[in-house]
Amino acid sequence: MLQTRTRVKMRTKFNVHPRSAATATSTTVSNPKQSKRYKMFVSLVIAVLLAGAGSIALPQNSYASGEKKSFPQQVSYPGIIKPTHITQNAMNQSVAQYYDYWKGKYLKHDLSSLPGGYYVKGDITGSQDGFTALGSSEGQGYGMIITVLMAGHDPDAQTIYNGLFKTARAYKSAINPNLMGRVVADDKKAQGHFESVTEGDLDIAYSLILAHNQWGSAGSINYLQEAKQMISNGIKASNVTTNNRLNLGDSDTKNGLNTRPSSWMLSHLRAFYEVTEDPIWIQLLDNLYAIYSDFSNTYSPTTGLISDFVINNPPKPAPDGYLDKSKKTSIYYYNASRVPLRFVMDYAMYGDPRSKAISDKLTSWIKGKTNNTPSNIKNSYTLNGTEEGDHATAVFVSPFISAGTADSSNQAWVNAGWDWMKNKREDYLSDSYNLLNMLYISGNWWKPTSVEQTSLSNLAVNAPAVASSFGGINFEAERAFDGNLQSRWASNSSEGSEPQWIYVDLGTVKKIGSVRLHWEDAYAVKFKIQVSNDGSVWNDVYTESNGSGGVQDIPLNNVQAKYVKMYGTEMGTLYGYSLYEFEVYPPN
């Protein structure tokens, strides 16, 4: 059943947490700063109501049943920044509005040759073999990831996703039926006619892991089983070469050295490893990092750019016109432009320092090249940074903004980039990739949980808890450990009441792999995760200096402790700290 919720937040500074203030019969403002702020707040509210009564647009969130990770998730990853000049809610609304636009323009289900089949309408490159191409496996992969992540906003997301998967399976590759052929055309003869393209299949397989996390695999499609089959019998069998590269598709050789960097989806490979426990995916990932390093050191030491296609060993740019793909295969063009997003996500989700180093190098160069103005980015560059293009387009701009999220020194860059991205409307490729970047930057591209972790118990659920303060009845410390995302702990929100903390007693010393914090709107900008064996002597095991709320996953490298504490030192709002859940997990 679809539910629509409308909520207006108008918070006043009380001595208890603002959500519990409804039980108070009077308010005492004893601090002069509070009094001034309160008067300004009241004046502003009155002015807004008088000026726009009846015309205020209220935020609405739609929830469909069955989602485990309903949009918005608004995850905050350690070390990753988000735009700071707007609220998280405003970012979520921009993503939702862009999705609605994208869906209306590109998501189609009008195949007479495959009733119920969905596809993403878009242009393709390469031969169409006499068919009229409507879409591609590349677009199918984009659409399947986007649809899973938008479930909850779109009540039809699972129906659409299953329709996209139906098309992916019907239009199987002519060579390896576990992969998708590169072309969608409204003709049964096109089903099973075309060979595969590696990057489309990587996204499709990854989306199946997301779908398993989102809806589970007990329905009409066993998403997890389909993912494993595609990963092992499709991609590993046909696309991973004997020298640990990714080839161009299943018509390519298994011992070749040619590769397309837009297929280097590093965080995808980690997800494949977690699902299959096959070390080939980590070996492949490490080799792709090594290829990039060798290539960049030789051909782009200043810029960090890479060419659309890479060949040979040691790696070098493919010549222009390589495989008749385009005349600019030796430079940073429409394939390579997608790479920065794929790299930075490995730092955001898995903390790989190689990813951060690459992202920082790319961002430093492009900021200098454009005078810190995202709209000055051009749609192609030589590897030494010379402009080849003549205009800004999202498939080039947005990945550079995503790369900038890896360091807080890029805050102005990320803010300006978001403003450019959120209203950009172009064509299939740029719009689809723009939306993927918006999902990442806003924290709504969440990390898929491994199969093993889904079966792990939260060590902290219903365990004894202690907090420095609480904001009234129903906001006690134990609310953050009851396994219920509808209840929460809230600290006393009086000004000057920092630091505030909350900890859980696990009963005995246990090995801890990670912590997950589900922040309410009152979150911590600066905090530490501390551990202790006796509840008296605490050791810092994680420090956050730029938190932005949402759902925050924090790896703890298998520390051993009986007590785990969140120690907040700087509030993100004026309303203290509030956690829906404080989860503690053992190692995978």
Q: What is the pLDDT of residues 106-126, one digit of tens each?
A: 999 999 999 999 999 998 878
Set out the domains of the chain in order of their start, with CATH numbers.
3-63 (no CATH), 88-441 (1.50.10.10), 457-585 (2.60.120.260)
Question: What pLDDT is stored for residue 521 in this prediction?
Answer: 83
Find the mean pLDDT for residues 408-412: 98
Question: What pLDDT is stored for residue 250 in this prediction?
Answer: 97
pLDDT for residue 375 is more than 90: yes
DSSP 482-527: SS-TT--EE----TT---EEEEEEEEEEEEEEEEEEEE-SS-EEEE
Summarize pLDDT for 559-579 with one digit per residue, the tens. Answer: 999 999 999 999 887 778 999
Q: Which of the four pLDDT bands, split at 50, 70 and 90, describes residue 323?
A: confident
Question: What pLDDT is stored for residue 472 in this prediction?
Answer: 87
Summarize pLDDT for 505-530 with one digit per residue, the tens. Answer: 999 999 999 999 999 888 999 999 99
pLDDT for residue 455 is more than 80: no
Summarize pLDDT for 200-238 with one digit per residue, the tens. Answer: 999 999 999 999 999 999 999 999 999 999 999 999 999
Question: What pLDDT is stored for residue 51 in this prediction?
Answer: 36
Q: What CA–CA distance (Å, rounded) separates 78 from 553?
A: 8
- Cβ contact 307:318 at 8 Å: yes
pTM passes above 0.75: no
Q: What mean pLDDT is reported for the chain?
A: 87
Q: Which of the four pLDDT bands, split at 50, 70 and 90, describes residue 60?
A: very low
Summarize pLDDT for 2-37 with one digit per residue, the tens. Answer: 332 222 233 323 333 333 333 232 222 333 333 334
Q: What CA–CA distance (Å, rounded) separates 227 from 231?
A: 6
- Cβ contact 68:213 at 8 Å: yes
With a pLDDT cut of 70, the percent of the chain lying above it is 87
pLDDT for residue 356 is more than 70: yes
State whether the Cα torsion 98-102-105-110 is positive or negative.
negative
Backbone angles phi, psi at 452, to 5 degrees: -65, -40
Q: Which own/partner pairs from 568-571 qualify as long-range (CB within 8 Å, at least 24 positions apart)?
A: 568/491, 568/498, 568/499, 568/500, 568/501, 568/524, 568/526, 568/527, 569/498, 569/499, 569/524, 569/526, 569/527, 569/528, 570/498, 570/524, 570/525, 570/526, 570/527, 571/498, 571/522, 571/523, 571/524, 571/525
Summarize pLDDT for 91-101 with one digit per residue, the tens. Answer: 999 999 999 99
pLDDT for residue 46 is more than 70: no
Cα 329 versus chain centre, distance: 29
Comparing 78-82, 181-185, 297-301, 482-486, the range with the smallest average pLDDT is: 482-486
